[in-house]
């Protein structure tokens, strides 16, 4: 039987999710429940109803699609990938929540010579993660916190499996960009910059990207009829994270603000 995945968006002509022109496939479902999540429609693993403000009516977010149909869709832009050095990026939600389908999709894309990338939290069994990254050319790995208790408080899951998989990726010499989504009153401030610096020095991570908190997903909570804990919290901008960047660099970690 043909494998299926629950997908909530296929975004074409993306320029910010890997090299070149890319198509991003968004997998639905995430084991984390970060209260600042910008894509709350990605958390539930099944299709759900969400208000569409343009159409002024409820709409279904997410659909089950065969791996073959996803490949057919993304391969329509093969010429753009080849010309620009681009490819296909898997995102979510958490793509590892549907690891079996994602691994098959990546494997078949690589057979076609397509560059593959993935955005992930790294939360999965180590055996699954190892099999997954074997099919990924470039990995974006988000680290939300450096301390177990605070990580669980903010995301609902343990930090340890994430650190185990981050260590595995480093040992495998995976081409990878480690990122910190910087969230007000959760992991910002010099104390937390120091905590991340110590962790990354311990792991041997030399380059990091900072992702400033934004409010792009705020209205989605209303459209899903869900409460939003970050309402009225000001967005962070590049200049707001200069201190964080400087502190990491003082610890020998090259840093850019995305």
Q: Which of 55, 163, 72, 53 is nearest to 112 (CA)?
A: 72
Model confidence band, residue 3 (pLDDT cutoffs 50, 70, 90): confident
pLDDT in tens, 8-43: 999 999 999 999 999 999 999 999 999 999 999 999
108-127 mean pLDDT: 97
The answer to whether the Cα torsion of 206, 212, 217, 218 is positive or negative is positive
Class of the domain covering 4-181+212-227 = alpha beta
pLDDT in tens, 54-95: 899 999 999 999 999 999 999 999 999 999 999 999 999 999
- Give ∠ CA 112-113-116 in degrees, rounded to 5: 105
Backbone φ and ψ for 125, nearest 5 degrees, come out as -60, 145
pLDDT in tens, 153-205: 999 999 999 999 999 999 999 999 999 999 999 999 999 999 999 999 999 99
**Residues 172/133, Cβ–Cβ less than 8 Å:** yes
From CA 236, how far away is CA 243, in angstroms rounded? 13
């Amino acid at each position: 039987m043909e494998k299926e995945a629950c997908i909530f968006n296929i975004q074409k002509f993306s320029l910010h999710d890997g090299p070149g022109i890319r198509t991003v496939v968004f997998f639905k479902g995430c084991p984390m429940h970060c209260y600042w999540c910008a894509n709350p429609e990605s958390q539930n693993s099944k299709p759900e109803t969400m208000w569409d403000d343009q159409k002024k009516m409820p709409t279904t977010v997410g659909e089950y699609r065969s791996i073959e149909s996803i490949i057919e869709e993304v391969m329509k832009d093969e010429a753009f990938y080849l010309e620009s050095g681009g490819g296909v990026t898997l995102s979510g939600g958490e793509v590892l929540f549907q690891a079996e389908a994602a691994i098959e999709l990546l494997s078949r894309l690589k057979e076609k010579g397509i560059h593959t990338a993935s955005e992930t939290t790294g939360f999965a069994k180590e055996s699954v993660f190892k099999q997954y990254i074997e099919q990924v050319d470039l990995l974006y790995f988000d680290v939300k916190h450096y301390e177990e208790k605070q990580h669980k408080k903010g995301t609902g899951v343990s930090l340890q499996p994430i650190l185990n998989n981050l260590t595995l990726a480093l040992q495998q010499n995976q081409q990878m960009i480690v990122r910190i989504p910087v969230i007000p009153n959760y992991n910002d401030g010099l104390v937390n910059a120091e905590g991340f610096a110590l962790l990354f020095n311990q792991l041997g991570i030399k380059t990091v990207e900072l992702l400033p908190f934004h409010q792009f997903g705020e209205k989605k909570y209303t459209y899903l009829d869900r409460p939003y804990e970050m309402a009225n919290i000001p967005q962070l901008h590049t200049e707001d994270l200069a201190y964080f960047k400087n502190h990491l660099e003082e610890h020998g970690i090259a840093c850019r603000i995305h």
